[in-house]
Structure 1
């Protein structure tokens, strides 16, 4: 059983957020951060059997900024 699962979270180009689990086939989209958190919890619950479900879900927010020189 893994104790933690890590998701990378990015702002979607069309608005909202997308989250992808590293090392797992889990992908979710939502319009707001509270919705995203709920979607991630639900996806993890559906993806794992109850005994194999990670105890911690970590969200790593990734944001690119482009600066003009």
Structure 2
């Protein structure tokens, strides 16, 4: 695997959650600044040495509700 994509969303209780697409990897962080290190940590724990993807992308999704 050469690339792994995480969907990043704001958590309802505060902070951020990140879920990998196609893998059972989930992590959370209090701030966007600490999220990349939390994702790296989760990826390292999930894959055997040498099997982790070369690139991890964080896809930020923001839901916005508007009145019509």
TM range (shorter): over 0.9
Moved over 4 A (4+): none
Task: For structure 2, list consecutive stretches of 5 or more residues without a partner in the other structure.
Answer: none
What is the rounded CA distance, in whole Å, between the counterparts of 1:30 and 1:64 in structure 2? 18
Number of residue equivalences: 68
Residue matched to 2:15: 16
Q: Deviations over 1:2-59 (max 9, x none)?
A: 0000000000111100000011111001100121111100110111112211000000
Structure 1 spans left out of the alignment, 5+ residues: none
Structure whose residues are more often helix by fraction:
1
TM-score (norm 2): 0.95
TM-score, structure 1 as length reference: 0.94
